Amino acid sequence: MIWFFSYVVAGAVVGILAGLLGIGGGMTLVPVIAALFAAQHFAPDHVVHMALATCMASIAFTSGSSVREHLKFDGVDFSIFKRMTPGLVVGSLLATSVSAWIPQRHLALSFAVIVFFGATQIMLNKKPKSARPLPSAGPLFCVGLVIGVISGLVSAGGAFLTIPFMLWCGVPMRKTIGTGALMGIPLAIVGTIGYIISGWSVPGLPEYTAGFVSLIAVAGIVCGSVFTAPIGARWAHRLPVQTLKRIFAGLLYVLAAKMLWTYW
């Protein structure tokens, strides 16, 4: 029961961040969930695989709860969503389907490097100037494909890349947060399927898992996040959030450093 409660608390914290910043929360959750799994002595060679998969599965619920609130403020651009999502989905499926063949240490190091990049981007708060309109369907698919692959590798909803890209293309900030959160839902669903497939025949995984996904951990994370994500989404439309973003970036640095220290 204490482990389930730990998952709930982690989910509640990441739910606030998801609603506030439009993220799916995977980058924040992965090191925490990996530590909880390690403390329970789950499959030592696959702790990171399981953490990535479990957090990916939770993103769909967390982002969905956040999106519902953003819709109330007309904070979603469905045209961008329709054109960019196919590439995101394909990229996420590619990355997660082959995850079982990537050594745990390499996954952990890749996660840390990408999270350091994302945290630096948030910390500097450099809003890209509107350089050009959104590209046509072909280039937009390719952009989505690259972001999908990166997101699949670090169990993220992709907002830390899709939001800067949309800003660079002149999309209003308020629209990018909700749209980025919505893109995270299909990306997470397909990514979760990929992690289930890649971990399905792996021996030594604990009970109550589907591939690399811990069903109990997902349930706990969702119990916490679905109630707090709408609160964060309301704050995103009412509060100046730059200080909170910097606090979040600092947290990401700490978590990425912990991952490096553990798996170097």
The predicted pLDDT at position 71 comes to 81
The predicted pLDDT at position 171 comes to 81
233 or 112, higher pLDDT: 112
44 or 258, higher pLDDT: 44
The predicted pLDDT at position 101 comes to 76
The model's pLDDT over 183-192, given as tens digits with 9 standing for 90+, comes to 888 988 998 9
DSSP 237: T
Using CA atoms, how far apart are residues 108 and 24, in angstroms rounded to an integer? 19
249: Cβ contacts below 8 Å, ≥ 6 apart: 119, 120, 122, 123
Asked whether the predicted pLDDT for residue 56 surpasses 90, the reply is no
Mean pLDDT over residues 2-27, rounded? 77
188 or 105, higher pLDDT: 188
Q: Which of 66-75, 128-137, 143-152, 202-211 has the highest mean pLDDT?
A: 202-211
Q: What is the pTM of this model?
A: 0.77
3-state secondary structure of 172: coil
8 — pLDDT class (breaks 50, 70, 90):
very high
Least confident of 57-66, 130-139, 148-157: 130-139
Which secondary-structure segment (H or E) carries 192? helix 173-199
Intra-chain end-to-end CA distance of the chain, in Å:
31
The model's pLDDT over 57-72, given as tens digits with 9 standing for 90+, comes to 988 887 777 777 778 7
Which secondary-structure segment (H or E) carries 94? helix 78-97
Asked whether the predicted pLDDT for residue 24 surpasses 60, the reply is no
| Dihedral sign for Cα atoms in the order 151, 157, 160, 163 | positive
Mean pLDDT of the chain: 80
Least confident of 24-33, 109-118, 210-219, 232-241: 232-241
